[in-house]
Amino acid sequence: MTRVVRALHAGTPRAGLLRDGGVVEVLDHDDALAALRGEGATSAEARLEELHLLPPVEAPEIWCAGVTYERSRDARLEEAETGARDVYALVYEAERPELFLKDAAMRRTVGPGGEIRVRSDSRWTVPEPELGVVIGAGGEPVAVTCGNDVSSRDIEGANPLYIPQAKIFAGGCAIGPALAAPSDWDAPWTIRLLIADADGAELFAGETTTAKMRRSLRELVSWVVRDNPVPPGSVLLTGTGLVPPDDYTLAPGHVVEVTIDGIGTLTNTVGS
């Protein structure tokens, strides 16, 4: 499986091919999608741990799909404070998925090692570990990455119309560390979430698989590009099946790790 990272090399952003053993073949350009297509020549080699990683793609847009796992449907029902809670059950079973724009031009998104944040007016914010799909020039999926759709559950639960405010805020998204081009788009991906406090003590750990998703990756992509001119390099986060307990909320200094086998681990710290 081809894996591509973006990193600073000699002070310049460069794409690189990630090989087994943590060796990166640094390319002579900074286009991750071109690197996936095999374009570019190797200009140097470096160890992954020696590089300052950047977001693996400068996504023009980041979209999210909601209520794609039964666990996320249940969490929405549990947090809902109004009679509109039935909308979550209905969208889980419906043909048309829930889709919303999370970010544009990477204004609210960080990469590996970047600081995620919580809204100042939220008292209950959680990470949502997700498989992200990178969309190509023809509207087809071309790669996958790890994503974290940071969400304010109290704002979302107060009213479904508050979802944009619960989902879209500075530092509310992270992607990385690599892009991977799967040979089988129907094969499941294992997703793990680990949250630790500033001292390294484990606060939550869980694991799920995309095999539990209500809809396939290709199906979700087909909906997001339907009558919608999504620019190539955009990312669709495909929903979460891991939800921390209701008494947990992100706090400054907490460290969130999203690991997807075959891609890597996306690590972010919560800023103050």
CA dist 135 and 231 (Å) reads: 8
Least confident stretch, 22-36, 80-94, 218-232: 80-94
User: Structural domain boundaries of the chain?
Assistant: 2-53, 61-270
CA 232 vs. chain centroid, Å, equals 17
Half-sphere CA count of 42, side-chain side, radius 13 A: 10
- Write down the pLDDT at residue 79: 57
- Write down the pLDDT at residue 89: 75
pTM for the structure as a whole? 0.93
CA dist 130 and 133 (Å) reads: 10
Mean pLDDT of 129-147: 97
- Write down the pLDDT at residue 90: 82
Please choose, from the candidates 165, 143, 138, the residue with its C-alpha nearest in 3D space to the C-alpha of residue 17.
Answer: 143
Judged against a pLDDT cut of 70, whether residue 75 lies above it is answered with no
Homologous superfamily (CATH) for 61-270: Fumarylacetoacetase-like, C-terminal domain (3.90.850.10)
Judged against a pLDDT cut of 80, whether residue 74 lies above it is answered with no
